[in-house]
């Protein structure tokens, strides 16, 4: 008789294990010639062992009766049960799923015609054969530990995962899944794993080879630094930073060449801005394109921050002037702050915006234009109070801030900065002052006839001698400011606020300020050193391992939009490749690239959230009106209604497929948008909100909407 186990697919040896069970009258049969009275007996035959969950066919042979019908029992229970296994009326025994306390059961058959006649056989139970179907090895954090997860069949609570032949502490998840945390040696690229089931019937599965990818950086840390240093993380960039680590990523970005904005010819205007008959939409399209698609993300992001510190606006400056300024900011982003100061001051854009352009030596009855000189100190470099190196204001004995400069010094700088006008065509000084022919490509150039040559007393009593040229006065005046003690704390705090957190501790500002003052090689204003100090500071990285670390800053509207386009993978559909439509969305939210309402930027750096002690600049444009409009924008985003762009969030999109499991979808969105740090209560609420929806596309739309409109997302932290 063949005992065949359909579950395991294995064939057992033929067994002849017939046992006769002698009941009370049995002995009388032996050796006597007495007339036979009809004696009913039952013998059972079948296998001697069965693996858990498998089956064995038993046969009962009834002698002494015309009826061959029997009743089957397993360990005394008619028909068996889940503990000992079950047996059908035809004698097919199914072993239990879990090993009972004893690994042996008794299979018995009792004659229906004669209840006293029965036969039985002992059956040994064995663990199933483990089958390792597939597996993964997922790095735990940034460690050398990997969570090995094997999915297969035939697993029992005593199953052990072996990795490289070594038994691991194994977690029994279910009969089809086992897990173990495995420590690997550095440089390991694959892991051979197998499952060993214990006795009785102990057996080892075939070997699976799992690829091991080492990430020096967690997905959380990678996504966080990308939110601080790019225009929005993407799945690809997160993985890249995970692979190379934060330090290497910063180095790589420092080396990335500038994505430049193309110059905008005045006539004829490019098609992108021809319809509006003005250049600024072209500048905006160029800017959005570089921000969203440029590989020099950190450079562009720092340039963006700088553009919000050294503000010009196309509300009063020609759009043609923007590429020159922006390219200077991007080119200078990793040089020296003194270079940035100089290039900004001499850009035609800043010149036109704050009137250093064509600022003439004052005639009798006039004063020199104070606009650039005042804001250059108040808004760009020094501020209105003497600062300690930790960014806190210095106070006099009455508790009032000590002013870093006087009205007379403003007027002195105003005279020092006279004499600059548009460069001659192709660069260099023009023939006359002022030069009425606009040159938006080259820095402004001095014409001495427009320069005030009287002496000037600047900060810290520095005197510019009478008779100096415009270039000499300019260079010395800028150096005078650059070396002022306020510049480091003033600039560093603002950069920290733009890139990392609105509320840096004084100690954090101090640490970065010290690097600004001296990069370690005696250089002041080294931007690479400053940026690295900002990004790698313990306060910048604290959130990598503590999701509720109190810090961060509100995602300003432009960064919200770029993060959506990059993160969700929108593609441009405009016939001219224009990205300018994005400006209309950001304008609704009070931002438009290089088009602030005033030199004070879209939001003031010292903005305080009302009734709080929180200095949070971006909140200056977060109110019930803009918040409502941002929700509407989010609705347009998830419904693929962004002009000139398209995105696929349908049932068949990657997210749509994932949406079959609401939890998997939400976890993916957490990785893409929330550094894999979505709070549990939020995760549960979103899963609950989308689970009843029958359309996977709608699950995606609503889940994304809920994520991107949440304050947890809006505040980068």
Positions 305 through 324 that interact with other proteins (CB under 8 A): 315-316
What does the chain come to in residues? 717
Minimum CB–partner distance for residue 73 and other proteins (Å): 56
361 binds other proteins (CB under 8 A): yes
Q: What is the distance of C-alpha 597 from the center of its chain?
A: 32
Residue from 365, 436, 467, 522 touching other proteins (CB under 8 A): that is 365
134 binds other proteins (CB under 8 A): no
Minimum CB–partner distance for residue 367 and other proteins (Å): 5
Whole-number Å distance between alpha carbons of 594 and 322: 8
- Residue 286 in tokens: 């160029």
- Residue 165 in tokens: 């032949």
> Is the CB of 355 or the CB of 661 nearer to other proteins?
355
Q: Where does this chain touch other proteins (CB under 8 A) — which range of 76-84, 174-182, 423-431, 706-714?
A: 706-714
541 binds other proteins (CB under 8 A): no
Helices (H), 569-612: 581-588
Nearest to 587 by CA among 561, 608, 565: 561
DSSP string, 13-74: PP----EEPP-GGGGGGSS--SPPP---EEEEE--SEEETT-EEE-EEEEESSS---EEEEE
CA 42-48-52 angle, 5° bins: 120
Asked whether the beta carbons of 534 and 492 are under 8 A apart, the reply is yes
Asked whether the beta carbons of 593 and 601 are under 8 A apart, the reply is no
Lay out the site mask for other proteins across 632-671 (x = CB under 8 A, - = otherwise). Answer: x--xx--x-x------------------------------
> Is the CB of 171 or the CB of 355 nearer to other proteins?
355
277 binds other proteins (CB under 8 A): no
Residue from 102, 157, 400, 465 touching other proteins (CB under 8 A): that is 400
Q: What is the distance of C-alpha 88 from the center of its chain?
A: 57
Minimum CB–partner distance for residue 46 and other proteins (Å): 59
First to last CA, the chain: 70
Residues sharing a CB contact under 8 Å with residue 222, sequence separation 6 or more, in sequence order: 215, 233, 237, 238, 239, 240, 241, 242, 246
Q: Where does this chain touch other proteins (CB under 8 A) — which range of 90-98, 513-521, 533-541, 543-551?
A: 543-551
CA 84-87-92 angle, 5° bins: 125
# residues contacting other proteins (CB under 8 A): 92
691 binds other proteins (CB under 8 A): no
* Residue 201 φ then ψ, to 5°: 80, 20
Q: Where does this chain touch other proteins (CB under 8 A) — which range of 91-99, 223-231, 391-399, 528-536?
A: 391-399
Q: What is the distance of C-alpha 112 from the center of its chain?
A: 71
> Is the CB of 189 or the CB of 624 nearer to other proteins?
624
395 binds other proteins (CB under 8 A): yes
> Is the CB of 51 or the CB of 553 nearer to other proteins?
553
> Is the CB of 247 or the CB of 606 nearer to other proteins?
606
506 binds other proteins (CB under 8 A): no
Is the bond into 200 cis (omega within 30 degrees of 0)? yes
Which residues ranging from 404 to 443 are in contact with other proteins (CB under 8 A)? Answer: 407, 418
Q: What is the distance of C-alpha 173 from the center of its chain?
A: 29
263 binds other proteins (CB under 8 A): no
Minimum CB–partner distance for residue 642 and other proteins (Å): 13
Identify the H or E element spanning 632: helix 624-638
Minimum CB–partner distance for residue 686 and other proteins (Å): 7
Which residues ranging from 597 to 626 are in contact with other proteins (CB under 8 A)? Answer: 597-600, 604, 606, 608-616, 619-626
Q: Where does this chain touch other proteins (CB under 8 A) — which range of 13-21, 61-69, 112-120, 592-600?
A: 592-600
Asked whether the beta carbons of 604 and 594 are under 8 A apart, the reply is no
706 binds other proteins (CB under 8 A): yes
> Is the CB of 12 or the CB of 549 nearer to other proteins?
549
Nearest to 443 by CA among 514, 336, 545, 341: 341
Residue from 342, 374, 498, 675 touching other proteins (CB under 8 A): that is 374
* Beta-carbon-side half-sphere exposure of residue 347 (alpha carbons within 13 Å): 28
> Is the CB of 361 or the CB of 541 nearer to other proteins?
361
528 binds other proteins (CB under 8 A): no
């Amino acid at each position: 008789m063949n005992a065949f186990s359909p579950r395991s697919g294995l064939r057992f040896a033929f067994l002849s294990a017939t046992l006769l069970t002698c009941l009370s009258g049995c002995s009388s049969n032996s050796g006597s010639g007495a007339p036979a009275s009809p004696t009913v007996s039952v013998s059972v035959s079948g296998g001697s062992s069965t693996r858990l969950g498998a089956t064995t066919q038993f046969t009962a042979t009834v002698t002494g009766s015309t009826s061959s019908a029997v009743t089957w029992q397993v360990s005394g229970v008619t028909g068996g049960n889940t503990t000992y296994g079950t047996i059908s009326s035809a004698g097919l025994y199914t072993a239990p799923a879990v090993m009972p306390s004893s690994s042996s059961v008794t299979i018995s058959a009792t004659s229906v015609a004669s209840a006293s006649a029965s036969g039985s056989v002992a059956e040994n139970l064995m663990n199933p054969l483990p089958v390792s179907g597939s597996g993964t090895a997922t790095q735990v954090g940034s460690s050398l530990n990997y969570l090995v997860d094997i999915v297969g069949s035939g697993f029992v609570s005593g199953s052990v995962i072996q990795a490289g032949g070594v038994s691991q502490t194994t977690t029994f998840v279910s009969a089809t899944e086992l897990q173990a945390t495995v420590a690997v040696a550095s440089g390991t690229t694959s892991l051979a794993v197998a499952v060993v089931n214990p006795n009785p019937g102990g057996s080892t599965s075939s070997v699976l080879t799992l690829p091991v990818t080492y990430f020096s950086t967690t997905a959380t840390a990678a996504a966080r630094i990308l939110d601080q240093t790019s225009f929005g993380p993407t799945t690809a960039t997160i993985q890249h930073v995970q692979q190379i680590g934060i330090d290497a990523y910063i180095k790589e970005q420092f080396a990335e060449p500038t994505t430049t904005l193309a110059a905008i010819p005045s006539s004829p205007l490019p098609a992108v801005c021809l319809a509006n008959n003005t250049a600024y939409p072209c500048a905006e399209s160029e800017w959005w394109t570089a921000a969203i698609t440029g590989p020099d993300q950190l450079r562009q992001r720092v340039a963006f921050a700088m553009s919000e510190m050294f503000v010009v606006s196309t509300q009063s400056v020609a759009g043609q002037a923007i590429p020159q300024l922006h390219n200077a900011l991007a080119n200078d982003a990793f040089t020296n702050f003194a270079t940035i100061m100089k290039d900004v001051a001499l850009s035609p854009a800043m010149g036109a915006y704050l009137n250093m352009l064509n600022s003439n030596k004052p005639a009798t009855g006039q004063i020199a234009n104070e606009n650039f000189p005042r804001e250059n100190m108040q808004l760009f470099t020094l501020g209105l109070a003497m600062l300690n190196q930790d960014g806190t204001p210095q106070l006099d004995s009455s508790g009032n801030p000590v002013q870093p400069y006087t009205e007379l010094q403003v007027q002195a700088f105003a005279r020092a900065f006279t004499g600059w006008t548009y460069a001659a065509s192709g660069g260099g000084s023009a023939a006359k002052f002022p030069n009425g022919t606009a040159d938006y490509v080259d820095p402004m150039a001095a014409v001495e006839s427009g320069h005030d040559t009287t002496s000037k007393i600047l900060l810290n009593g520095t005197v510019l001698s009478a008779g100096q040229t415009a270039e000499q006065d300019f260079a010395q005046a800028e150096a005078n400011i650059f070396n002022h003690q306020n510049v480091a704390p003033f600039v560093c705090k603002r950069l920290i606020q733009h890139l990392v957190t609105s509320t840096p501790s004084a100690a954090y500002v101090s640490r970065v300020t010290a690097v600004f003052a001296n990069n370690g090689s005696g250089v002041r204003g080294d931007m690479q050193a400053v940026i690295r100090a900002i990004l790698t500071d313990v306060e910048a990285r604290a959130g990598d391992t503590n999701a509720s670390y109190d810090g961060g800053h509100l995602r300003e509207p432009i960064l919200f939009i770029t993060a959506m386009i990059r993160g969700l993978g929108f593609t441009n559909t405009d016939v001219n490749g224009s990205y300018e439509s994005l400006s209309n969305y950001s304008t609704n939210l009070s931002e438009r690239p290089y088009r602030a309402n005033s030199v004070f930027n879209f939001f003031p750096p010292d903005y305080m959230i009302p009734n709080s002690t929180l200095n949070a600049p971006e909140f200056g444009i977060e109110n019930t009106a803009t918040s409502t409009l941002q929700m509407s924008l989010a609705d347009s985003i998830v419904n693929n209604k962004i002009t000139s762009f398209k995105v696929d969030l349908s049932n068949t999109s990657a997210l749509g497929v994932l949406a079959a499991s609401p939890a998997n979808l939400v976890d993916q969105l957490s990785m893409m948008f929330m550094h894999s740090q979505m709070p549990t209560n939020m995760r549960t609420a979103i899963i609950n909100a989308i689970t009843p929806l029958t359309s996977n596309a709608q699950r995606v739309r609503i889940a994304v909407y809920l994520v991107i409109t949440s304050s947890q997302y809006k505040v980068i932290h």
